[in-house]
Amino acid sequence: MEEKTVINNSAEKIFESRTILSKYYSVQFSFNDTDLAYLFKLRDIHLNGLCILVKEDSSVFKQLKVGDTFNMEYNPPESSGPTKILETQITSKNSHDHFKGHSLVGLSIIKDNGGRR
């Protein structure tokens, strides 16, 4: 019975990732109310689900902690619509063989804050 729950959660995660990626191309966020914003292309790597690729020796990578939540601005491709603010949690930080010196930072949307720009 428990395995079925894991499979359903995995399927839901994949569905959520693909739904988000069909609407949004990148995500933008900042730490604490700083003026400096970080922009990353959204990716869907099968085992990680929704994620961003971050250079491991960057200051942003060092500041991102698993469990942290951010109000992230999700941007559609080529300004094809409004951006959306979604509360997003950092779920993982995993090195990836294909992207040497980078890690995939997993994202999970917690809730829609209703913000649009």
pLDDT at position 48, please? Answer: 63
Q: How many CA atoms lie within 13 A of 117 on its CB side?
A: 11
CATH of the domain at 45: 2.30.110
**Spacing of C-alpha 42 from chain mean position:** 6
pLDDT at 23: 85
- 94: how many CB neighbours lie within 10 A of its CB? 12
Q: Which residue stretches of the chain have pLDDT < 70? A: 1-18, 46-48, 79, 113-117
What is the span of the domain harbouring residue 11? 2-116
Number of domains in the chain: 1
Residue 62 has a pLDDT of: 94
Interatomic CA distance for residues 71 and 100, integer angstroms: 28
